[in-house]
Amino acid sequence: MKMGLCAIAVLLSWASIAYAADPNPLQDFCVALPDNKSDVFVNGKFCKDPNLVVAEDFLFQGLNIPGNTSNQLGSAVTAVNVNQLPGLNTLGVSLARLDFAPYGLNPPTPTLRNKLFTKYLKAGDVFVFPQGLIHFQINVGKTNAVAFAGFGSQNPGVITIANAVFGSDPKINPDVLAKAFQVEKNIIDYLQAQFWPNN
């Protein structure tokens, strides 16, 4: 009897591992509304009445148009998340187009670990940024470049290290930053005085 119970327990634990996945959505779709005039609230957005949903709710046009890279970073990000494409609500995906001028940079974003994976990409290559690891992109070529990104969230946040540290409002105490970065306070003062674009 004990042997049978152990076998059942092992089978049940294997079954729970084999079937582990994201739960299915409660409904097939929940087209997001920009206001709160709906009674159904899912994933931070109110749902449009399903009887009023149209094909345009699932369409975004414009990823074929290059972004303006005439800025101090030499890059532009065209985001397509639930705010631009209401049909993404509850689907758990979004995407972006990244345009780079020669030597343009999409600056580093925060990391949970101090590990850097770096790779030169060529046309048609795909590279995955593990969630939580620092990542950035720079065009090392002499011509414009474009990249496309996919995200596992309908509305992923963006925090760049430089903006968060040196462009915060209110400013982080320069003495704290000088000690953290092990540099003179005048360097921090200089960095905090720069214009930090809100990417």
* Sequence-separated (6 or more) residues with CB below 8 Å from residue 14: none
Give the whole-angstrom CA distance, residue 62 versus residue 41: 28
| C-beta of residue 155 within 8 angstroms of C-beta of residue 80 | no
SS (H, E, C) 15-36: HHHHCCCCCCCCCCCCCEECCC
- Residues of each annotated binding site for Mn(2+): 135
- What is the pLDDT at residue 70? 95
- What is the pLDDT at residue 113? 59
Helices (H), the chain: 2-18, 161-166, 174-181, 185-193
* Sequence-separated (6 or more) residues with CB below 8 Å from residue 115: 133
Q: How many CB atoms lie within 10 A of CB 100?
A: 25
| C-beta of residue 149 within 8 angstroms of C-beta of residue 95 | yes
For the chain, 199 residues long, give each residue's pLDDT as a single digit of tens: 454 444 443 333 343 343 333 455 556 778 888 766 555 555 667 888 888 989 899 889 999 999 999 998 899 999 898 889 898 888 888 888 999 999 998 887 655 556 677 888 888 888 877 666 777 888 999 999 998 888 777 767 777 788 888 988 888 999 888 888 889 999 999 999 986 665 4
- Global confidence as pTM: 0.62
| C-beta of residue 78 within 8 angstroms of C-beta of residue 62 | yes
Angle between helices 174-181 and 185-193 (to 10 degrees): 120
- What is the pLDDT at residue 17? 41
45 by DSSP, 3-state: which?
strand
- Residues of each annotated binding site: 106, 135
- Residues of each annotated binding site for oxalate: 106
